[in-house]
Amino acid sequence: MISFNFNTIGELAELAEKQHVPMHEVVLEREMHTSQRARADILQEMQHNWQVMQESIERGIKNTEKSVSGMTGGDAKKIYAYREKGYLGESALAAAAYAVGISEVNAVMGRIVACPTAGSCGIVPAALYAAKKQRGFADEDIVKALLTAAGIGMVVDQNASIAGASGGCQAECGTAAGMAAGALVELAGGTPARIGDAVALAIKNLLGLVCDPVAGLVEVPCVKRNGFATVTALTAADMSLAGVKSVIPVDEVITAMNEIGHALPKSLRETSEAGLAVTPTAKKIQKRVYPD
């Protein structure tokens, strides 16, 4: 039986290394114990989640429907159409399009998987879908990588926060970028230590990101932030796989994220009382969306 008690990424990585199993096996064993469900049932549920994620991507990159507020809709289609012409390259731009697309589907009340939250729903699936398209990874392997992503998210939730109202957007898009980066490294055959470095690299570069939604809606700047954070996840995974290490260990990065989240003023934690939410244009939008 696999030992599965972990509270930090370091402990999760150590359990995987000592037992000579991939990180997802430790997470799966913990979920089996916690939920008292069979392995096959958990994998089937995650497969269903992955199917929903893929469907939301395919809908998103074709979507032209505007949200009720009129702030979002149709940008994913534009990015996807431009993917072969951009500086980033086709794969990275496609990944950004996938992430924006999922977020736009969320904005029009379509079906998505909140992974880890609705505000950051595009990042993990977009990164993994891009990896599938680029390298031909099997869905079975992606489902296992999603378990690793889930384990990373669990640790962040326990030791910091995954809620914008608690820790700013770093808690949502930052956590999702870390989850995606770790999952990508596992897919590529990276070690648990490299997974930890990828998570750290991704989160470090989104530390301090505020949550300042215009008109209180998960649309501006949230939708496009999903695209940017997905590219951050891809970059972090590649850096780690190339042998780049995070000078600050991943669990210390998560602690720092928690401290920064507490230090952020309430006005920058999803209250729409500061930041982009109080710009002149944002105030006009708010009046239009919520007329007196």
pLDDT the model gives residue 292? 80
Can you give the pLDDT at residue 254?
Answer: 98
Strand partners, 269: 211
Tell me the pLDDT tens digit for each residue of 190-233: 999 999 999 999 999 999 999 999 999 999 999 999 999 999 99
Evaluate whether 207 touches 229 at the Cβ level (below 8 Å).
no
* pLDDT the model gives residue 95: 98
Spell out the alpha helix ranges (H) of the chain: 9-18, 23-35, 39-60, 75-81, 90-107, 123-135, 139-159, 164-167, 169, 175-187, 192-204, 222-241, 250-263, 280-289
Q: What mean pLDDT value characterizes the chain?
A: 98
Q: What is the pLDDT of residues 130-159, one digit of tens each?
A: 999 999 999 999 999 999 999 999 999 999
- Reported as a pLDDT band with limits 50, 70 and 90, residue 60 is very high
Segment 109-138 mean pLDDT: 98
Segment 32-47 shows an average pLDDT of 98
What confidence category does residue 1 fall into, taking pLDDT thresholds of 50, 70 and 90?
A: confident
Q: Write out pLDDT tens, residues 80-104.
A: 999 999 999 999 999 999 999 999 9
Q: How confident is the model over 26-35, as a mean pLDDT?
A: 97
| pLDDT tens-digit readout, 176-186 | 999 999 999 99
Return the amino acid letter for 263. Answer: A
How far is 123 from 181, CA to CA, in rounded Å? 10
In sequence order, the β-bridge partners of residue 211 are 269
